[in-house]
Amino acid sequence: MEKAEVSLKAVVTGLMQALREAKLLGDMESARLIKTYRKSMPSFSVPAFAISEVEVELRFAVAESQELRRRGGAQPGDIKIKISPETLKGLEPHQISQLRIKFSPVELRVFEKPEEG
């Protein structure tokens, strides 16, 4: 069943996981080609791509359920939203929020112990 309200946190997390898994799909394809390249095209480098930037525009309506009112409003980072197209279609433009998110890869940091003295 389609849920009327979903967590914004879950949606953003889902987007990040999807991008990570998409990158993984690409990396797996590159890894699969390594053997072929070593055998047939040793001087060529195996193709591999990075996802440099992903821009997502999310349209949603903040849900005002009885549960949220009872708790005194939505908690930061745990906002319940409505995202189904049917729901958004029936709303006034001012009731629809728009969120733009840019995802970029971050290099893993290596922390080194500072030299003493």
Partner 1 sequence: MANIPAELRSLPLEHIVGSPLVAAIKAQALAAKTTVDFIKEVGLKPDDSWTAVDDQSGYEARYVEFKFDRLVEERDTSTDPPTTVQKIVPSKLTVPMLSIVPIPYLRINDMTIDFEYQIRDVETSESTSETKISTSAKMNGWFYKVQLKGSFTYRTANKRETDRRSTLKITVNAVQDEIPEGLARVLDILSDAMKVVPISEGTVVTTPTGGSGET
The binding site for partner 1 (CB under 8 A) comprises: 1-3, 6-7, 10-11, 13-15, 17-26, 29-30, 33, 36-37, 39-45, 47-49, 51-52, 54, 83-85
Cα separation, 18 vs 71, in Å, equals 31
Give the nearest distance from C-beta 74 to partner 1 in angstroms. 16
Residue closer to partner 1, measured from CB, 44 or 113: 44
Q: Which two tokens stand for residue 24?
A: 């993984």
Residue closer to partner 1, measured from CB, 23 or 62: 23
Residue closer to partner 1, measured from CB, 49 or 101: 49
Give 7's strand partners.
Answer: 80
Q: 60 CB contacts (<8 Å, ≥6 apart)? A: 8, 11, 81, 82, 83, 88, 96, 97, 99
Among 113, 103, 108, which Cα is nearest to 56's?
Answer: 103
Give the nearest distance from C-beta 19 to partner 1 in angstroms. 6
Residue closer to partner 1, measured from CB, 50 or 110: 50
